[in-house]
Amino acid sequence: MMIRPAKRTESVQEYYFSRKLKEIAQMNADRALRGEELVINLGIGSPDGIPPMPAIEALCESARQPGNHAYQSYVGLPELRQAFADWYRRWYGVGLDPKTEIQPLVGSKEAILLISLAFLDKGDKVLVPDPGYPTYSSASQLVEAEILTYDLREENGWQPDFEAIEQMDLRGVKIMWTNYPNMPTGAPASEELYKKLVDFGRRHGIMICNDNPYSFILNDRPLSILAQPGAKECCLELNSLSKAHNMAGWRIGMVAAESQVIAEILKVKSQMDSGMFKPLQVAAVEALNQGPEWFSQLNEEYRRRRVLAGEIFDLLGARYDKDSTGMFLWGKVPSEVAEGDGRTPGQVVSDRILYEAGVFITPGFIFGRNGGNFIRISLCAKPETLKKAASQIKACGVLG
């Protein structure tokens, strides 16, 4: 390499799933040469269902229009911002000004870095959950902020322990990342939790950044932190069409907050892209207009898959919540499986299943120290795939 990479990149590694998928791709190439079946991937939460048909039709029709292939506004189509506002009012009971309090995004993941760039200086502190989405930490590291992890524990229902957080040195903390329904644990959101978060943020002058892409999955009552009184004073919320509308690859998300926060995020975003492809925005409007029957059918399928994922955990002797929300099942494996080689129990189980049974299940350690004894199954696999995975694990007796 001709030049030295920026020092900030020394604090992060390539994303775990990026590295693991390359390993699995090589395994599959070797398996194909031997005439063996490919690895069954139960790791990543990428919905396998088709998006709402009106959205697909709108995308195709809009893409045929010659004038729809130019650069677009950085703030998104007015129709899309209005559709997001209507969606929030209809499902969450939250009123948002579509002109100033909503920013469409190229997927909500980009907002984690946008928010970090917009609000964090070197040395500022960030509260990050453990276990939690790894990008909260990596984005904070890239802007040279100081990470303070706060524990989420099974015995506390994977909720923040506010008494313990209050005992931390909170001087210099500017942002707290939260994610409910929680990934990876499946813990649900609640009015009481959101009330506590808003109170905490207001008292300490900390911006609560709530990541909310799973609120419709295996959950009959979607909740938003912005529905709490006073929430806009200290909260923003990320949301997405990726999970609830089977549109992960479309990269359509949004951030909602009071106008000054949105304006700061836009300052950064406008330096990084040139607007979302117009046909995608037109299609997103149609997706957001889906009624309750869409989510009812979606969750009927996820409930079936949750049962089958649970049967895999039963084979592995893993303990799990049969009523968890979101699109993953989170299971605790026996600590006795650890082999004393530095790998966590969850990593040991994940490795055995991958290399002996040809099934990839995510080890919980990648989400933080508190995930070490856990593994996670994605429900984004068809029932027959989950049944086949169970059959292969049972045949190999990998924990025998």
Instruction: Report if residue 83 sits inside a domain.
Output: yes
Is the domain of 224 the same as that of 359?
Answer: no
Domain boundary among 233, 256, 289: 289
Instruction: Report if residue 249 sits inside a domain.
Output: yes
What integer pLDDT is reported at residue 339 of this predicted model? 75
Q: Residue 11 — pLDDT band, cuts 50, 70, 90?
A: confident
How many CB atoms are closer than 10 A to CB 155? 6
What integer pLDDT is reported at residue 20 of this predicted model? 84
Domain boundary among 289, 322, 339: 289
How confident is the model over 189-206, as a mean pLDDT? 98
Is the domain of 156 the same as that of 264?
Answer: yes
CA distance 232 to 198: 9
How confident is the model over 194-217, as a mean pLDDT? 98
284-339 pLDDT, tens digit per residue, is 999 999 999 999 999 999 999 999 999 999 999 999 999 999 999 999 999 887 77
Domain boundary among 229, 264, 289: 289
Instruction: Report if residue 120 sits inside a domain.
Output: yes
CA distance 377 to 352: 15
What integer pLDDT is reported at residue 368 of this predicted model? 96
Is the domain of 36 the same as that of 87?
Answer: no
Q: Residue 50 — pLDDT band, cuts 50, 70, 90?
A: very high
How confident is the model over 177-181, as a mean pLDDT? 97
How confident is the model over 229-258, as a mean pLDDT? 97
Output the domain CATH number for residue 345. 3.90.1150.10
What integer pLDDT is reported at residue 398 of this predicted model? 60
What integer pLDDT is reported at residue 156 of this predicted model? 95
What integer pLDDT is reported at residue 18 of this predicted model? 84
Residue 59 has pLDDT above 70, yes or no: yes
Instruction: Report if residue 55 sits inside a domain.
Output: no
What integer pLDDT is reported at residue 159 of this predicted model? 97
What integer pLDDT is reported at residue 397 of this predicted model? 74
Is the domain of 110 the same as that of 239?
Answer: yes
Is the domain of 94 the same as that of 135?
Answer: yes
Is the domain of 172 the same as that of 231?
Answer: yes
Instruction: Report if residue 298 sits inside a domain.
Output: yes
Is the domain of 25 the same as that of 89?
Answer: no
Q: Is the peptide bond before 184 cis (omega within 30 degrees of 0)?
A: yes
Listed in sequence order, the residues at least 6 apart from 256 whose beta carbon sits closer than 8 Å to its beta carbon are: 84, 88, 94, 96, 101, 102, 103, 226, 236, 237, 239
CA distance 121 to 103: 22
Residue 110 has pLDDT above 60, yes or no: yes
Phi, then psi, of 125 in degrees rounded to 5: -105, 150
Instruction: Report if residue 1 sits inside a domain.
Output: no
Average pLDDT taken over every residue of the chain: 95
Q: Residue 250 — pLDDT band, cuts 50, 70, 90?
A: very high
DSSP state of 313: H
Is the domain of 40 the same as that of 163?
Answer: no
| Prediction pTM value | 0.94
Is the domain of 37 the same as that of 139?
Answer: no
Domain extent, residue 156, equals: 70-289
Is the domain of 306 the same as that of 273?
Answer: no
Q: Residue 399 — pLDDT band, cuts 50, 70, 90?
A: low
Instruction: Report if residue 57 sits inside a domain.
Output: no
How confident is the model over 360-377, as a mean pLDDT? 96
Is the domain of 301 the same as that of 279?
Answer: no
Is the domain of 18 the same as that of 101?
Answer: no
Query: Closest Cα to residue 237, out of 15, 87, 51, 52?
Result: 87
Output the domain CATH number for residue 100. 3.40.640.10
CA 60 vs. chain centroid, Å, equals 28
Instruction: Report if residue 336 sits inside a domain.
Output: yes
Say how many domains are in the chain.
2
CA distance 314 to 331: 10
